[in-house]
A and B are shown apart, each in its own frame.
Chain A
Amino acid sequence: MSVKQISVFLENRPGCLHEMTKALADANIDLRGLSLAETSDFGIVRLIVDDVLGTADTLRAANFVASLTDVLAVEVPNVPGGLNKVLEILDSAGVNVEYMYAILGNKKSDTAYMIFRVNDNAKASYALAGSGVKIMEADELSAL
C-alpha cells in the first residue's frame, strides 16, 4: 500500500541542489513530487519519481547519498477541509505524521495528491482505507 520515496543528502553549499537536478535531467528523469527540508548545516530532498531504481543509480553515480523510504501516497479531496479530514482519521488512529507534502496530478481537478511519511504505514493505511480514503499504488501514481 505504499510507494518508494528517494531521500537525498545535500550539502549546504551553493549549487548543490542544482547539481542534483542536473544529474536527474541528464538522465531524463521525470519528477512527480519533491520536498526540501533543511537545517543550517545540510538539507534533505525527498523525491517521488516513476523510475525509482534508475533514479537511485543515477544519484549514486553522481556521488549523492540517497536512501529509499516507504511513504503513503494519498488522494485528498480538493475541497476546503479535505486535508483536515485525512489528518483527523490519522489522528484518531493514533498515527504520527513525520512530514507530508503535495505532489502533482493532472487528471482530476477535484482531487489533490499528498505524500505522508508516518510512523506506522500499516496502521495508517488500514485507518484511511476504512474511512474510504484512497491510497495509491506506484502504478496508479505513474498513471496520473
Chain B
Amino acid sequence: MSNYYQPEIETMPHEKIRELQNERLLKQVRHVWDNVPYYRKKMQEKGVTPDDIKSQDDLHKLPFLSKADLREAYPYGLMGKPLKDCVRIQSTSGTTGQRVVAFYTHHDLHIWETMCARAIVAAGGTNEDVVQVSYGYGLFTGGPGLNGGSHLLGSLTIPTSSGNTDRQIMFIKDLNATILCCTPSYAAFIGERMKEMGMKPDDIPLKAGIFGAEAWSEEMRRDIEATMGIKAYDIYGLTELCGPGVSFECSDQHGMHINEDYFIAEIIDPKTGEVLPEGSTGELVFTTLDKEAFPLIRYRTRDITSLTREPCPCGRTHVRMTKLKGRTDDMLIIRGVNVFPSQIETVLINQGYPANYQIIVDRVNNTDTLDVRVEMTPEMFTDNLGVVNQKQAKLVEALRSMLGLKAKVTLVAPKTIVRSEGKAVRVIDNRKI
C-alpha cells in the first residue's frame, strides 16, 4: 500500500516525465541565458546557445557548474531573479569549508516544501501525524525544509530544532510525535539517551524518522530502527538545489526517488566529466528545471551514487538514487586506498560498537596512519584484559578486510567523543600535505 502527496506526478509514466522535463529544461536554460551572465559566459565559451538545446539529449553540450563556480560568483553572481523578488536566504553549514548562499522566491520555497511534503507522505505521514523537526533551524536548510513540508501537508509540526536532547524526548512522549526529522547522527544520539533513561521503543509513539544531511550506513539505519522502534527513511538534498527533499525514500527503503519534475539527474565520471550509462556509479549532477532565484545547470554535487529505473514496488516512477556512498570530499585517500567513513561505520556497528566514532588521519614518517577512536561500552567490557584485547584485534581485522588497510583502534571512555546535534564531525585529518 502506498500513499502519495501528488499521485498524478509521483506515479507519472516515464515518457510523460521526460516530456515535462524537456519542456521545463528549455525554459530553464533560456531563463539562465537571459538572467545569469556568469553562466551565459560559460555557455558562450563552449559555443552553446539555448537554441542548441532541444531536449535533455542535448544536456551534455552544456557546461558544468561546480562548487568553485559558486564560490567565484558569491554572493549574487548566479541569481536568476532580482533581489526584490527573493524572499529567503539559506546557507550551508560550511562543513567542507566553503559556505554557499542560496536564494529563494515564493515559488522556489513552494516547490521545495512540496518536495518535503512528498517525502513525509512517502514515510507514511498524513495530516493526522505529529511531525517533530529536530533539524537545526536558521540558515541550515534541514529545519525550514521539513517544517515547510509538514505545514503544507497539514501535519501538526513541533519545531524543536536540534539540541536539548532530554526535552526532545519529552516532546516526543508528551505531545505524541509520530515522525521525527533530524540528522541520523542526532537520531542515534537521541536513541542512546532514551536507552540511558531506561526507555523502550514501545514507550514512545514515534513510527517513522526522516533522517538526512549526512551519509549513513544501512547498519546505522537498522540500529536506529531497533532502538526507537521506527522505520527510518533517508532523505537527500543540497542547499544549492533547495535543501532536503531533492530525493527521498519510500516504504521500500531501496534508494531515494529523485523529484524528476523539478530536476534532471545525471551520473558522470568525476575525472573525465563523461556521462555514464544507467546503473554506473559516479558523481551525481543535477539540473534544476523550475527554479527562479537560483537556477543551476549541470551542477556537480560531488556525491557518489548510482541511478536506477527499475520499477519500484511503491508505484513511484521517478528515478531512484542509491544510498550515498559518500561525498567525493568525504573520501579519504589513505596510503593510496580510498576510504569512506561510512565503511568504517558499517564495520563498527557489525562488531557491536556504538555508531559514535572518530577517524583520525595523520602522516608519520611519510606514511599515512589511520586511527579509529571508538567508545568502550558496558556490553563490550569485561575484567579480562585478554578478552578486551581480542575484541580489539577482531575489530582491527574486520576493518582491514573492509578497507584493505591496517587501522589502529583506540578504545576510549564513554562520552569522550563529542555528540553531534547537527552534522557529525567524523574525520580529523592532521596530515600536512
A residues sitting closer than 8 Å to B (CB atoms) are 5, 7, 9-11, 16, 37-39, 41-42, 44, 46, 63-67, 69, 98, 117
Q: How many residues of B contact A (CB 8 A)?
A: 20
**A45, closest chain B residue (CB):** B383
Whether A11 contacts B411 in the complex (CB less than 8 A), given A65-B376, A65-B377, comes out as yes
**Does B385 belong to the interface (CB within 8 Å)?**
yes
**Does B87 belong to the interface (CB within 8 Å)?**
no
Contact A67 B416 (CB under 8 A): no
Contact A67 B378 (CB under 8 A): yes
Q: How far is the CA of A16 from the CA of B410 in the complex (A)?
A: 15
Q: How far is the CA of A5 from the CA of B382 in the complex (A)?
A: 11
Contact A7 B381 (CB under 8 A): yes
Whether A65 contacts B413 in the complex (CB less than 8 A), given A37-B385, A41-B392, A44-B385, comes out as yes
Q: Which residues of B contact A63 (CB under 8 A)?
A: 413-416
Contact with A along B381-393 (1 / 0, CB 8 A): 1111100110010
Q: How far is the CA of A41 from the CA of B378 in the complex (A)?
A: 18
Q: Which residues of A contact B409 (CB under 8 A)?
A: 41
Q: How far is the CA of A67 from the CA of B388 in the complex (A)?
A: 13
**Does B412 belong to the interface (CB within 8 Å)?**
yes
Contact A67 B383 (CB under 8 A): yes
Whether A67 contacts B385 in the complex (CB less than 8 A), given A9-B376, A9-B413, A11-B411, comes out as no
Q: Which residues of B contact A41 (CB under 8 A)?
A: 392, 409-411
Interface centre among B380, B410, B413 (most CB of A within 10 A): B413
**B392, closest chain A residue (CB):** A41
A-B contact pairs, 5 of them (CB 8 A): A7-B383, A11-B410, A38-B385, A42-B388, A42-B411
Contact B413 A64 (CB under 8 A): yes
B residues sitting closer than 8 Å to A (CB atoms) are 376-378, 380-385, 388-389, 392, 409-416
Q: Which residues of A contact B416 (CB under 8 A)?
A: 11, 63
Whether A67 contacts B381 in the complex (CB less than 8 A), given A9-B376, A39-B389, comes out as yes
Interface centre among A11, A38, A65, A66 (most CB of B within 10 A): A65
Q: Which residues of A contact B377 (CB under 8 A)?
A: 65
Q: Is the interface of B mostly helix, strand, loop or mixed?
A: loop
Q: Is the interface of A mostly helix, strand, loop or mixed?
A: strand
Q: Which residues of B contact A42 (CB under 8 A)?
A: 376, 388, 411
- Chain A: minimal CB distance from B411 (Å): 5
Contact B410 A67 (CB under 8 A): no
Q: Which residues of B contact A37 (CB under 8 A)?
A: 385
From A11, A38, A39, contact of B412 by CB (8 A): A11
Q: How far is the CA of A11 from the CA of B412 in the complex (A)?
A: 6
Q: Which residues of B contact A69 (CB under 8 A)?
A: 382-383
**B386, closest chain A residue (CB):** A98
Q: How far is the CA of A64 from the CA of B410 in the complex (A)?
A: 16
Q: Which residues of A contact B414 (CB under 8 A)?
A: 63-65
Q: Which residues of A contact B392 (CB under 8 A)?
A: 41
**A20, closest chain B residue (CB):** B413
Contact A39 B385 (CB under 8 A): yes
- Chain A: minimal CB distance from B413 (Å): 5
For the complex of A and B, 7 pairs with smallest distance between CB atoms = A7-B383, A69-B383, A65-B376, A65-B381, A63-B415, A37-B385, A9-B376
**A68, closest chain B residue (CB):** B383
Q: How far is the CA of A103 from the CA of B343 in the complex (A)?
A: 46
Q: How far is the CA of A37 from the CA of B388 in the complex (A)?
A: 12
Q: How far is the CA of A39 from the CA of B410 in the complex (A)?
A: 12
Q: How far is the CA of A37 from the CA of B383 in the complex (A)?
A: 10
Contact A46 B389 (CB under 8 A): no
Q: Which residues of A contact B378 (CB under 8 A)?
A: 65-67
Q: Which residues of A contact B385 (CB under 8 A)?
A: 37-39, 44
Q: Which residues of B contact A44 (CB under 8 A)?
A: 383, 385, 388
